[in-house]
Chains A and B, each alone.
Chain A
C-alpha cells in the first residue's frame, strides 16, 4: 500500500478518463502486471498466456483489437506494437455497461462507441468499409476448426448476410450498382432499434457491494 500514494493521482486521472472506480483500476492493474510479466507494456505474445482465450474462435481478432490504433484513439489505422496500462483500460472501457442514469445523448454516444469497436473488428484494412472479403473472413474464422463445414458453406453464409445488409442499406438496387461494402453509417442502420447493450458488456463488480455479503 505504501508505494501507491504517489500513484493515486494517476489513478484519479484514469478514473476520469475511463470511468472505472479506483478499486477496479487497482484490480485491473494487477491483472495487467500478471499478463505482462511485470513489464510496463503488453505485446501480442503476452495474450498467449490466457488459456481460456484459446477456446475462442475469433481470438486473433480480439487480441488485434487491443492493438488497433483506431480503438486506442491514436490514429486512423495501423497497429501499435505494445500497449501500456492506460491503453489497456481504454479498450476495457468499451465493455463497460451503459450507465442508465446518463441522459439520452450520452447513452446514444456510448452505444455508438461499442458498435464502432465491433466495426473495427470486421474492417481489418481500416478503409471504413466492411467488404465482402472481410465479412467472409470473419465468418470463416467463426466456423474454423470444424472439419465438417466446407469452405463453401462459410462463403454462402457470408454472401447471404451481405446481400441482406445491402437490401437494408440501399433499398432496391439498380442492375449495375455495386454494393461496395458496409460503411459505419450502414452498420448503425442495421442495428437501429435492436438492444445490443446487454450483449456487449462485461459486468465489472463494484468492490463495496462484495464486502456486504461477508
Chain B
C-alpha cells in the first residue's frame, strides 16, 4: 500500500505547510513577506517578456493595441461654441450640421460601449486572454509562457482552491459558533476576528496584494461607506481591513448559507427580493441601522453594475437619500497582473472565479477619503455627483456623466438628460429675446 501511504504523507505535509504559512499569519494579521518576493519575481519576468515582444514584433501589431483608445478625435467643445460660428439670425440651418456631426460621432464611437470592454494592455503579462494578437515570437518566450501556464494551473490553482474552501468553511462555522454567544463586547470582538481572518484567507486565495492609503479615514460606526464597484471581489477587498455591515439581496444556495451564518454573528441588512422593490422600506431599514451608533458601518456600492477600471459611471442617487455621514472609498485595480473586471454577459460566476484564480495576482489600491455630508440646499443628485467626483479624482479616472444608466444590459438614457440638453438648446434660440 505504498502508493496510498505516500499520497497520505504528501497531503499531510501540504496541509501543514498551508496552515503554517498562510492560515496562522492571517489570524494575527501578519504577513510573512512571501507575497512580496513572489511579486518581485513576477515583475522581473514580465518585464523580460515585454522586451522580447517589442523586439520581435513588427511595428503594426503594437499599433493595434493602442488603437483601442479611440478612432476619432471628438469635438468636445460645448454646444454654445459649436453652434455660434454661423449664427447671425435666430435660427440657422447650421444647427443641423452640429447635431449631425455629434450623431455621427456617437455612431462611430460610443463612449459607453468603450468603457465596458476591458482595458487593453500595451505590454503583455503572459496571459493570452489579454493579448489580442498572440503570435509566435520566439521559442524562449513561448517556453516561458508554457511554464507560466503550468505554474498557474497546476501549482497556484489547487493551492488557491484549497484556501478558498478553507476560508469559506471557517467563515460559516466560525460565525455560527460566535452567534451562539450572548450579546456582549466579547462577542463583537470575536466576530470581528472571525470575519477578518476569513477574509484574509480568501484574499490570499486570490493572491491579492492590497495597499491601503489614508487609514485614518477608515469608516466609523454609524456611517455609510460608499465605494465604486469594479468586480465582485470589491467586497472582499474592503472587508479585509475592517468590518462592515453588508446590504444586499437574500440569495439561495451557498451564498444564502454564508449570509445566514454572518447575520448570526453581527447584524447585516439582507433584503428579500420583494422588499427590494419598495424603496421606502429599504430606506427605512437602512436609516434604523445607522441610527444605532454601535452597529458597524454600512457598505454600499451605488453603481450596481460592474464598470471597467478607467471610468466611474453614474451613481444611483437613492443611496444618498438615507442621510448620515458618507465615507467615500476609491478602489483601483492594477490590471498588470490580473484583470478583475467581470463582464457578466460574457462569463458566469464560476468561470469568472476560475479566471481570477488562474491569473498571476490581483493587485489593487484602496484610498480612504475624508467623510462627507449632504449640505444645506443640496439635493441627493448633486450630493451623489460630488461624492462621485471625489472618488474619481482620487482614483485618477475620467469622470463621465455618460448616457447610460449603467450597463449594456439596460442602455436606456434617463429622459432627464435628453430634456436637459434640449432645454439648453432651445434656451439659446428663444431666450435671446425676439422671435421675428
Q: Which residues of A contact B (CB under 8 A)?
A: 1, 23-24, 27-28, 31, 34-35, 47, 49-59, 62, 65, 92, 95, 118, 121-122, 138-139, 142-146, 148-149, 153, 156-158, 160-161, 164, 190, 194, 196, 198-205, 207-208, 210-211, 214
B67 touches A161 (CB 8 A): no
A54 touches B109 (CB 8 A): no
Q: A52's closest neighbor in chain B, by CB?
A: B106
B413 touches A55 (CB 8 A): yes
Q: A119's closest neighbor in chain B, by CB?
A: B93
Contact with A along B91-107 (1 / 0, CB 8 A): 11111111111111111
Interface of B is mostly: helix
Q: B107's closest neighbor in chain A, by CB?
A: A50
Contact of A52 among B85, B101, B403, B436 (CB under 8 A): B403
- B73 interfacial by beta-carbon distance below 8 Å: yes
B422 touches A144 (CB 8 A): yes
**Known A146-B422, A202-B72, A203-B73; contact A157-B101, beta-carbon cutoff 8 A:** no
- B291 interfacial by beta-carbon distance below 8 Å: no
B97 touches A196 (CB 8 A): yes
B425 touches A49 (CB 8 A): no
Count how many pairs of residues, one from A and one from B, have CB atoms less than 8 Å apart in the complex. 168
Min CB–CB distance B314 → chain A (angstroms): 12
Known interface pairs A51-B113, A198-B85; 12 further A-B residue pairs with C-beta atoms within 8 A, sorted by A's residue number:
A23-B67, A51-B112, A54-B413, A55-B413, A95-B104, A143-B426, A148-B426, A161-B93, A199-B82, A203-B75, A204-B71, A207-B63
Contact of A160 among B90, B419, B422 (CB under 8 A): B90
B63 touches A210 (CB 8 A): yes
**Known A203-B73, A205-B73; contact A58-B67, beta-carbon cutoff 8 A:** no
Q: List 19 A-B contacts (CB under 8 A).
A: A24-B71, A31-B109, A34-B113, A50-B110, A51-B110, A51-B113, A54-B403, A57-B421, A57-B425, A118-B100, A121-B100, A139-B91, A142-B95, A142-B425, A160-B91, A160-B435, A199-B94, A202-B101, A205-B70
In this complex, how many residues of chain B approach chain A with their Cβ under 8 Å: the count is 60
Min CB–CB distance A158 → chain B (angstroms): 8
Interface of A is mostly: helix
- B108 interfacial by beta-carbon distance below 8 Å: yes
Give Cα distance in the complex from A118 to B101, angstroms: 11
Give Cα distance in the complex from A168 to B413, angstroms: 41
**Known A157-B90, A199-B85, A203-B72; contact A53-B106, beta-carbon cutoff 8 A:** yes
- B429 interfacial by beta-carbon distance below 8 Å: yes
Give Cα distance in the complex from A192 to B425, angstroms: 26
B411 touches A56 (CB 8 A): no
A143 touches B422 (CB 8 A): yes
Q: A47's closest neighbor in chain B, by CB?
A: B107
B430 touches A211 (CB 8 A): no
B residues in contact with A211, CB < 8 Å: 59, 62-63, 66
B71 touches A28 (CB 8 A): yes
Interface centre among B73, B104, B419, B430 (most CB of A within 10 A): B104
Give Cα distance in the complex from A209 to B402, angstroms: 28
Give Cα distance in the complex from A148 to B426, angstroms: 9
A143 touches B429 (CB 8 A): yes
Min CB–CB distance A11 → chain B (angstroms): 14
A55 touches B66 (CB 8 A): no
B residues in contact with A139, CB < 8 Å: 91
A202 touches B436 (CB 8 A): no
Give the 7 A-B CB pairs with smallest separation, nearest first: A52-B106, A51-B403, A62-B103, A145-B422, A203-B73, A199-B97, A54-B413
Give Cα distance in the complex from A34 to B37, angstroms: 43
B96 touches A118 (CB 8 A): yes
**Known A51-B402, A55-B418, A145-B418; contact A157-B103, beta-carbon cutoff 8 A:** no
Q: B435's closest neighbor in chain A, by CB?
A: A156
Contact of A194 among B71, B75, B86 (CB under 8 A): B86
B417 touches A55 (CB 8 A): yes
A210 touches B66 (CB 8 A): yes
- B232 interfacial by beta-carbon distance below 8 Å: no
A residues in contact with B111, CB < 8 Å: 52
B71 touches A56 (CB 8 A): no
Give Cα distance in the complex from A198 to B112, angstroms: 26
Q: A191's closest neighbor in chain B, by CB?
A: B93
